[in-house]
Homo-oligomer: A and B are copies of this chain.
Amino acid sequence: MDQNKIPQATAKRLPLYYRFLNNLNQQGKSRVSSKELSEAVKVDSATIRRDFSYFGALGKKGYGYNVEYLLEFFRKTLDQDEVTEVALIGAGNLGTAFLKYNFMKNNNIVIKMAFDASAEKVGEDIGGVPIYHIDEMEERMDGIQVAILTIPAGETDGVTERLVDYGVTGILNFTPARITVPEHIRVHHIDLAVELQALVYFLKHYPLENE
């Protein structure tokens, strides 16, 4: 769709910039420098300038960036106009927290439906999201391309296979299981236990450094 030239590291920071620019705009600020932005989002100012420069010359030398212009630009670039619908698989502890959270607000993403294997959950509505039985997944999915996985680790392979067969293009996997998918499907892992343990490890072994 867009230019394939934008580095992935940059792409990951865009939502962050976008959210902060929104704040600034709401505060009525009309102008911002890379230095100010840097302090707020904790990213080096040179990195910010470089990131922006991939999209062309968005700023003005000696002045900085116009907040409204930048915001408008990113809104288009991040496709904030169209809502992305995702499905959540596994309405347990973690899944429930996500269902109650409003990703719509800043991110224009909405969890459209959830699936679970437990009879207790099926039929319920959590945070306004209907929960269907996992057996009905394929017939209910209605073209949804992205799935959030919050099921027990042991269930992961089976469910993943079904998601792949169904035709999702992206999976956000919160289980500790490492999944195998065809190359054209993108998987992001978020392993909360590993994150926590890694933090503890760093504290013990790198007492005074920064990340």
Mark A residues whose CB is within 8 Å of B.
Answer: 1-2, 4, 6, 8, 11-12, 14-16, 19, 40-42, 78-79, 84, 86, 93-94, 96-98, 100-101, 103, 106-107, 109, 145-146, 148, 169-170, 172, 176, 178, 180, 183-184, 186-188, 190-211
Knowing A97-B94, A184-B208, A190-B190 touch, does A11 contact B198 (C-beta < 8 A)? yes
State the Cβ distance, A80 to closest chain B Cβ, in Å: 9
A191 to B14 alpha-carbon distance, docked (Å): 13
Contact in complex: B15, A201 (CB < 8 Å) = yes
A206 to B109 alpha-carbon distance, docked (Å): 18
Chain B contacts for A197, CB-based, 8 A: 15, 78, 107, 109
Contact in complex: A109, B145 (CB < 8 Å) = no
